[in-house]
Amino acid sequence: MSTVPISWYLILAAAMFAVGIVGVLTRRSGIAVFLAIELMLNAANLTLVAYSRLLDAIAGQMVVFFALAVAAAEAAVGLALFIAVYRLRRTIDVNRLNLMRW
């Protein structure tokens, strides 16, 4: 059984991160921007797991597990904020939102 080289994981993580950056820069919907940021976080987690596997260290995988737990809490809080902003402004278009102005 052959193993997958670490370079493939790193290329996949770089591609995921690039797609996330493009999503943050081009999307106007707050939820789409939020999902792009989550994609970038998952790319960083994939990199940590790849290096952890290469070095046979469980610590990197534990950090990723903790980061995924924090990301789940972040997603819940972020979506709750989007719901609150939508109820207040009737839009989640990031170009039209200006929360400093009432």
Tens of pLDDT, residues 38-73: 999 999 999 999 999 888 888 888 888 999 899 999
Residue of 23 and 28 predicted with greater confidence: 23
Q: Which pLDDT value is given to residue 81?
A: 87
CATH no., domain 6-89: 1.10.287.3510
The C-alpha R_g of the chain, in whole angstroms, comes to 17
Name the amino acid, one letter, at 4.
Answer: V
**24 pLDDT higher than 90:** yes
Q: Please spell the DSSP secondary structure of 53-98, one letter per residue.
A: HHHT-HHHHHHHHHHHHHHHHHHHHHHHHHHHHHHHHS--BTTT--
Are 14 and 43 within 8 A, CB to CB? yes
